[in-house]
Amino acid sequence: MIDPSQICTLMPLDEDTQHGNTQANDNSNDFLGSSIRRKGDKSDVRISFDQYKDSYSYLGTDAISIPPDTATMNLALNDHTTKERVRAVVLHEFGHLLECIHKHSSPASSIPWNEAAVYDYYRRCGWDWAKTYHNVLWKYDEKTISQFSEFDPKSIMVYPIDESVLLPGNSRFVTPWNTRLSATDKEFIGKLYPFPEGDERPRRSTRVKKKRL
């Protein structure tokens, strides 16, 4: 059973957003640029750390329309959260911030859900019908979303999938908790936010650091 405090959700902006009218914004780079503010200015992205709520984030530029006294992202972390889960939650929610949708909600997803089992599974996690439908079963229409990748079971943006929520004979769709960006994640985000022409991608240092004794 999934620990509800570990679940990462996508916060719908309004009824239209819940039904798929929000799509990857072609001006995503403008959103990143506008999130850098001078001291004293109001920020577009505001992060709370309330461990008694789900981890969530508004999708991309939806955050701009949220009242300035309201968080646009929550990271439900505490002193007992493992390093792997911290990494997974942060990467997942910042994926939403960068306008990445849930992979299981992609038009390219063909997961054979046992819907009754899905609702029962997440009901035991404290989720109602609407929350389960929006975050798990609902899929974007390829006519209303501008950019998406093929379904990737290794993506940081896919929920863990237990065999009990699938139709019989579909164990190949079982997915564990993913805690790192997949190759597809990196490629897709790189296409959404390409480095300016002439700029080099930062490289991780290969120098071995000495440990203090």
Confidence of residue 121 (pLDDT cuts 50, 70, 90): very high
What's the pLDDT at 9?
56
Least confident of 9-13, 82-86, 181-185: 9-13
Closest of 20, 179, 209, 212 to residue 86, by C-alpha:
179
The SS3 assignment for 171 reads: helix
Confidence of residue 87 (pLDDT cuts 50, 70, 90): very high
Q: 47 with 73: CB under 8 angstroms?
A: yes
What's the pLDDT at 157?
92
Question: What does the pLDDT look like over 4-42, one tens digit per residue?
Answer: 445 555 555 543 333 333 333 333 333 333 333 444 557
Going from the C-alpha of 39 to that of each of 36, 42, 43, 49, the distances in angstroms are 10, 9, 10, 22
What's the pLDDT at 182?
94
Who contacts 153 (Cβ-Cβ below 8 Å, separation ≥6)? 103, 173, 175
Average per-residue pLDDT for the chain: 78
Query: In the structure, how many helices (H) and strands (E) does the chain have?
Result: 6, 4
Q: Is residue 129's pLDDT more than 70?
A: yes
What's the pLDDT at 11?
59
Gap between the Cα atoms of 101 and 139, Å rounded: 10
Residue the block writes with tokens 């190949």: 172
Q: Which domains does the chain have, with CATH numbers?
A: 4-192 (3.40.390)
